[in-house]
């Protein structure tokens, strides 16, 4: 089954304790992206990756890191989480090139709900 | 920068009736993609329908259809024969065709309630 998976789905942590949220897709997609969703602010892009070893900042990258060592995986790293990073996080992927019909469509993971105390 | 506006924070519809959700966007680009995503209480983001800006024909997917007015920069979603399972938050989203970041720019969402 074609899908984007995220782990963990729920996480409660304390300020300053490093954590990683994993994202994996099995569709051989080139493009992957992280969003955070907050009430009243909607979904905002954190980081994106066009392909292996190619990453760049989105609109709200402060406090986050990413890596893309393999095509299928795109982990989100919070080196020193703070309470303002409490949010619902989504990973998404797409073919990227948009050459094939539907290739531009982004598919989302189930979300990771993070609470930083 | 592109912006997406959903002017209806909440909408309600009777089961089996039709409802239309509004979306407008602002862009200077001529080629782009538009999407409607559904977010039920599970919080999963589910693609409902997509539209390429270069296509004049409005997209349809079963009970879901769009009214794409490129000149007016309007992209409304019509849900026919509404079902209880359609109750969710609906997001309109824009994606550029240019550059290397295929970021989705989302509206703030419309919460749809379906009454039995």
pLDDT tens digits for chain B (116 residues)?
Answer: 789 999 999 999 999 999 999 999 999 988 899 999 999 999 999 999 999 998 889 999 999 999 999 999 999 999 999 999 999 999 999 998 777 788 899 999 999 999 99
Give the span between the Cα atoms of A23 and A8, in whole angstroms.
9
CA angle A2/A73/B35 to nearest 5° reads 55
CB B85 within 8 A of CB B15: no
Per-residue pLDDT, A42: 87
Task: State CA A50 to chain mean position distance.
Answer: 13
Interface contacts (A, B; CB < 8 Å): 61
Q: Which one, of A24, A13, A33, A5, lies nearest residue A85 by Cα?
A: A13
pLDDT of residue A97: 62
What is the pLDDT, as a whole number, of residue B17?
98
Q: From the CA of B82, how many Å to the nearest CA of chain A?
A: 24
Give yes or no for residue A99 having a pLDDT over 60.
no
Q: Is B35 touching A (CB cutoff 8 A)? A: yes
Question: What is the mean pLDDT of the segment spanning A90-105?
Answer: 73
| B86: DSSP letter | G
Interface mutation target, options A29, A31, A39, A42, chain B, most CBs of B under 10 Å: A42
What is the model's pLDDT at position A103? 61
User: pLDDT at position A41, please?
Assistant: 87
Residue B107 to residue B24: CA distance in whole angstroms: 9
CA dihedral B104, B46, A42, B40 (to 10 degrees): 170
């Amino acid at each position: 089954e074609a899908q984007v998976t995220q782990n963990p789905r729920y996480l409660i942590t304390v300020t300053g304790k490093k954590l990683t949220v994993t994202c994996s897709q099995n569709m051989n997609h080139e493009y992957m992206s992280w969003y955070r969703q907050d009430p009243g602010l909607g979904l905002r892009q954190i980081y994106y990756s066009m392909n292996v070893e190619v990453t760049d900042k989105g609109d709200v990258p402060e406090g986050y890191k990413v890596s893309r060592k393999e095509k299928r995986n795109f982990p989100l790293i919070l080196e020193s989480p703070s309470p303002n990073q409490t949010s619902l996080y989504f990973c998404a992927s797409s073919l990227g090139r948009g050459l094939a019909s539907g290739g531009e469509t982004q598919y989302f993971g189930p979300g990771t709900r993070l609470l930083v105390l | 920068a592109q912006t997406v506006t959903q002017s209806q924070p909440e909408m309600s519809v009777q089961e089996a009736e039709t409802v239309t959700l509004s979306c407008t966007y602002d862009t200077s680009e001529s080629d782009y993609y538009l999407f409607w995503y559904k977010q039920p209480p599970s919080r999963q983001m589910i693609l409902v329908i997509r539209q390429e800006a270069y296509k004049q024909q409005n997209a349809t997917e079963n009970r879901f259809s769009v009214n794409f007015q490129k000149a007016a920069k309007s992209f409304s979603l019509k849900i026919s024969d509404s079902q209880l399972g359609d109750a969710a938050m609906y997001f309109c989203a824009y994606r550029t065709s240019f550059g290397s970041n295929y970021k989705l720019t989302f509206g703030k969402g419309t919460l749809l309630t379906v009454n039995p």
